[in-house]
Amino acid sequence: MISLELNPPSRPSLDEIYEKIRRYNSFDAFIITELAMRREEDRWMDTMYTAIKLKEATGKRIIPVMTSRESTKRGILSRILMAIHGGIDELVIVRGDQSPYGGAFGMTTVEIIRTIRSLCERFSKRVTVYVAANPTRDLEGEIVRAAEKLSSGADAVITQPTLDTNLLRKFIAGLRERGFDNPVIGSIMILNSRNSAEMMERRCGIRFPEWFKEELGRGNWRDSLLTSIREIADICDGVHISPIAEQDFSVLLAEEARKILRDRDEQLPIFLP
């Protein structure tokens, strides 16, 4: 799978996001984020509503993100039901920042996965569940947490942007050693300056290799990202692209990743809902 990250519209219109999906037809799927860094009053369009409408209108694989600490248990449950009954058959579950409601009201990622599995069985539905992992923050801890999520019923892992391929290999090896052969999709973030990379590190807990930040400082972001996506596609079962800057460059990255994935000797998993 090669996927592109899109934000829900901040204005009362889906036209702009329709146009992006039409233009960026190199992608197998589009992941609709929760806009965790935006203020609540700026979030005009609900992520789940956006995903349902986009899937109905385009027929594409539209995958909304659900944040486990974004709401109360009742709110999270209502969003799961909205997804199931709205025709959404793929979801990304992430932990997110600490809920303003406090831990007693939220749900853990594992609880959400188990709830999805229970409701899917009840309504005879099938939902593919992707979970997030950040190997750059705490490698051993992330392996353990990802294994727990897969044991609870998740289908695949999507990493946070991980340009350190040694870390990525160790993360995948750690899962394989624990008996999990689920697909791992590596992420890459399009950044065009060292300042933007350091800002994302501060805000999101992502860690970029020093060599990458040095190349950004020299203005070599295009070549660095092309090199990185080739390496990621050679290691992982798919690639996810998050275009923080230079969105049109995502098409070239997708094409490069597809070449590598197509030429891989081993049979890659076919992972469809």
Q: What is the structure's pLDDT at 39?
A: 42
3-state DSSP of the chain: CEEEEECCCCCCCCHHHHHHHHHCCCCCEEEECCCCCCCHHHCCCCHHHHHHHHHHHHCCEEEEEEECCCCCHHHHHHHHHHHHHCCCCEEEEECCCCCCCCCCCCCCHHHHHHHHHHHHHHHCCCCEEEEEECCCCCHHHHHHHHHHHHHCCCCEEEEEECCCHHHHHHHHHHHHHCCCCCCEEEEEECCCCHHHHHHHHHHHCCCCCHHHHHHHHCCCHHHHHHHHHHHHHHHCCEEEEECCCCCCHHHHHHHHHHHHHHHCCCCCCCCCC
Residue 87's identity, in one-letter code, is: G
Q: Are 170 and 199 in contact (CB under 8 A)?
A: no
What is the dotted CATH code of the domain comprising 2-263?
Answer: 3.20.20.220
* Surface-to-core class of residue 228, CB atoms within 10 Å of its CB (0-12 exposed, 13-18 middle, 19+ buried): buried
Give 273 or 83, the one with higher predicted confidence. Answer: 83
Residue ranges of the domains in the chain? 2-263
Considering the chain, what percentage of its residues have pLDDT values greater than 90? 63
Largest CA distance in the chain: 55
pLDDT of residue 45: 64
Task: State residue 37's pLDDT score.
Answer: 41
pLDDT tens per residue across span 95-134: 865 545 444 456 889 999 999 999 999 999 999 999 999 9
Q: What is the pLDDT of residue 246?
A: 87
Which token pair is 33? 């984020």
Q: What is the pTM of this model?
A: 0.88
pLDDT at 272 over 60: no
Query: pLDDT for 166-178, tens place per residue?
Result: 999 999 999 999 9
Per cent of the chain over pLDDT 70 is 86
Cα gap 221→224, rounded to integer Å: 5
Note the pLDDT of residue 41. Answer: 47
Q: Which two tokens stand for residue 211?
A: 């060599």
pLDDT surpasses 70 at 158: yes
Q: Closest by alpha carbon to 164, among 73, 115, 232?
A: 232
Contact 142, 133 (CB under 8 A): yes
pLDDT at position 265 is 56
Find out whether 175 and 143 touch, Cβ atoms under 8 Å: yes
Q: Residue 108: its pLDDT value, please?
A: 87
Q: Please write the tens of the pLDDT for every residue from 185-235.
A: 999 999 999 999 999 888 888 889 999 999 999 999 999 999 999 999 999
pLDDT-based confidence at residue 71 (cuts at 50, 70, 90): low
- Listed residue (58, 20, 30) closest to 248, CA to CA: 20
Model pLDDT, residue 98: 55
